[in-house]
Amino acid sequence: MFNYTLIIPHYRSVDTLHRLLLSIPDRNDIQILVIDDNSSLDEDEFKRLPLFAFAEFLIIFLMKNEGAGGARNKGLKTAKGKWLIFADSDDYFVENAFSIFDKYNNEDYDIVYFKSESICLGGDIVSDRSNYYNQLIDSFSPEDVKSVNKLRYNHGVPWCKMIKKNLVIFNNIQFDAIMYSNDVMFSTKIGYYAEKIAAVNSIVYYVTTNVGSLTSQKSKESLLCRYETALRQNKFLRDRELAKYQKSIMFYLRLSLNYGVSTLLFFIRLGIKYRANFTIGMLHWHEYITTKIKSKCLF
């Protein structure tokens, strides 16, 4: 039996995938699944990857592009481990990550959350991708319902977690088949259905940011996709009497102005369709509009 299944979506990044695989110990209780999202790379490229003598290592090739969400869903169907651990192919684990995981292997938690450290590649920009999620862990207290629920519903990425496979299978939880924010609803749902969670003040993962990556891309298409996902997440929480943990959508409305007033109006209509609460974050929105008017940049 495998204790851990690692699910790694991959698209044309063999060099960074190589680095990630080197950070995974070669143990017979580990299953490693790399799901290639139709990279169309020569087979020789994959022959450069490290070999494992004890861990089960599989590369699954998708016949069409399904995005990271579709690739992860394929991994879920193949997973054999008691715990699911997700990693992106351009990230990697700290040296003692699995020693830390082992401490919680036999615990009865459904999810164990860990910390990460951010690294920015290809530029001089300092990455802060980890800060918010690390703060959720710093604020976590098992006796404080608010801090517990903030971790459950605001930790919107799949990495830096040990997730019981049975939690995902029994509740039929999958990733969204969309290009951006495909992991938000997955993370929200596992947080909701988990009976017992823990937060660990240990860094287990290096999350990298590349200039031009999906997480840093800013386009009208990506903005709309992320916005609608935020609307669906808020609706999911409202429907379960968890409205206090909704996120403000004003950030998306502000950015929609970059594409004109017609785009802003479309975003507002979409919010009305989802019965969004536009008043969350309204104070910051008012300050933003006032600044725009004063600088004559609104229209």
At residue 232's C-alpha, the angle toward residues 182 and 224, to 5°, is 65
pLDDT tens for each residue of 3-60: 999 999 999 989 999 999 999 999 999 999 999 999 888 778 888 899 999 999 999 9
What confidence score (pLDDT) does residue 211 get?
A: 61
- Model-level pTM? 0.89
Average pLDDT of the residues in 126-155: 93
Average pLDDT of the residues in 226-240: 98
pLDDT tens for each residue of 56-81: 999 999 999 999 999 999 999 999 99
pLDDT tens for each residue of 14-24: 999 999 999 99
Pairing relation of β-strands 161-164 and 83-86?
antiparallel
pLDDT at 295 > cutoff 60:
no
What confidence score (pLDDT) does residue 157 get?
A: 96
Task: Place 210 in a pLDDT band, splitting at 50, 70 and 90.
Answer: confident
Q: Is 180 exposed, middle or buried (0-12, 13-18, 19+ CB in 10 A)?
A: buried
Q: Cβ distance 47 to 38 under 8 Å?
A: no
HSE-CB for 266 with a 13 A CA cutoff: 13
Residue 150's SS3 state is helix
What confidence score (pLDDT) does residue 280 get?
A: 86
Domains, in order of start, for the chain: 4-216 (3.90.550.10), 220-290 (no CATH)
pLDDT at 298 > cutoff 50:
no
Q: Cβ distance 206 to 246 under 8 Å?
A: no
Locate the DSSP E strands across 79-183.
Answer: 83-86, 92-93, 111-121, 161-164
- DSSP codes joined into one string, 255-292: HHGGG-HHHHHHHHHHHHHTT--TTTTHHHHHHHHHHH
Q: Is 153 exposed, middle or buried (0-12, 13-18, 19+ CB in 10 A)?
A: buried
What confidence score (pLDDT) does residue 299 get?
A: 38
Locate the DSSP E strands across the chain.
Answer: 4-10, 30-36, 56-61, 83-86, 92-93, 111-121, 161-164, 197-210
Range scoring the smallest mean pLDDT among 6-20, 94-108, 119-133, 162-176: 119-133
**Residues 11, 188: Cα–Cα separation, whole Å:** 25
